[in-house]
Structure 1
Amino acid sequence: MSEETESYDLLFLRLKAGDEQAYKEIYEKFSKLLFQAAYNKVRDKVVAEDIVQNIFISIWEKREELMVRDARHYLMGSLKYAVINYIRSQVMENKYLAFSKNNSGGEEEIFSMIEVNDLSAIIEKGISSLPDKTQEIFRLSRFGHQSTKNISTDLKISEKTVEYHITRSIKFIRAYLKHYYLFL
């Protein structure tokens, strides 16, 4: 591990303790890199800035729970999921607009589309309430379509640990959805 990587990791440890100066240093060291990577993906300056700002807001809000082993890897992973979520929301919005153009007046279809969006939001809320590591592994597996072996290699954990987190997250989400189904 390089000295630079160790110093970044120490910054995250200081941040976890509530050190605002560490937060500012992390922002100064990584915000431009994250912005450039976001801009390369979304090709919109305002959206890229929003994505980066939301990542740093989330880091500050979740600072006490953060378990960061590799700062750069953590931040780039956060960016990856933020970009995926942005693109997913744009795709859904475009599908809805195209659907509503082609089916204006079809109330049943519109309600069905709303129900699908609501279900997606409920699932996303359930995933977001998982512990960070479980959430990351679940997203890599289910949304990133990565194999257990690839996730294990990327995160430097055993395949059994990856399987445990995936199983745990699926059970949790099923129970979470059952709770909503009973509520509705």
Structure 2
Amino acid sequence: MTPFEPDRSEDLLNRLKQDDKQAYEKIYFTFSKELLYAAYKKTGDRVIAEELVQNIFISLWEKRQDLQINNLQAYLFGALKLSVINHIRSLVMENKYMEYQMLTYSENHQDTANLVDLHDLSSIIEEGINSLPEKTQEVFRLSRYQHQSTKDIATGLNITEKAVEYHITRSIKRIKEYIKNFYIFL
């Protein structure tokens, strides 16, 4: 971890609170690689690591007016730690649910139940996608259903790669909420 000068940090945070996108970008480029590396070490999955780090920076921008940060580096790595913990918790819950399913149903019943659950889950995912703004839906479908790269999507839709990442992150977040509500209902 590279030490970050406190006076520079304060200046960047003050500028960030004043909606200065260059300050935000400076923070992003200063810390994103280290955060990504740390997230990857903890999760072992590059896609998950990228999503966790992306969510931290999205949250930083969205909450920039209300944040009370004394040490930017400590704040970002603390946020990453909490994100990793929450991710692991969700995996544990998912595993417990899967174990419960396996213990509860016989093989025949499980096959039928799985088909019904898969159909219900597919419907929930589609409902989540349909609740998104049109552009976000388009980016998500290109990324996840047509397996296009961020760069290809950005070029095809004439938007930045950052915008593509934003739309994908927003989509995943919304779909996770729909899925979570579905499982809570069960």
Taking structure 1 as the reference length, the TM-score comes to 0.54
Which ranges of structure 2 fall in alignment gaps of 5 or more residues? Answer: 110-186
Q: Does structure 1 retain, via aligned residues, the 8 Å contact 2:9–2:72?
A: yes
Are residues 1:78 and 2:79 paired?
yes
2:88 alignment partner AA: I
CA RMSD of aligned residues (A): 1.7
Shift of 1:3: 7.4
Deviations 1:111-138 (A, max 9, x none): xxxxxxxxxxxxxxxxxxxxxxxxxxxx
CA distance in 2, matches of 1:39, 1:66: 26
CA distance in 2, matches of 1:48, 1:5: 27
Q: Find the counterpart in structure 2 of residue 57 from structure 1.
A: 58
Taking structure 2 as the reference length, the TM-score comes to 0.54
Q: Find the counterpart in structure 1 of residue 9 from structure 2.
A: 8
Mapping of residues 80-119 of structure 1, within 5 Å: 80-104=81-105
Which ranges of structure 1 fall in alignment gaps of 5 or more residues? Answer: 107-184
CA distance in 2, matches of 1:9, 1:33: 20
Aligned length: 105
CA distance in 1, matches of 2:85, 2:4: 31
Deviations 1:12-64 (A, max 9, x none): 11101111100000000000010011011000000000000000000011010
Indicate the SS of the match to 1:100.
helix
1:58 alignment partner AA: S
1:55 alignment partner AA: I
1:87 alignment partner AA: I
CA distance in 2, matches of 1:92, 1:13: 39
Q: Sequence identity, in percent?
A: 50
Shift of 1:9: 2.5
CA distance in 1, matches of 2:44, 2:38: 10
Shift of 1:97: 0.6
| Segments ≥4 residues shifted beyond 3 Å | none
1:73 alignment partner AA: A
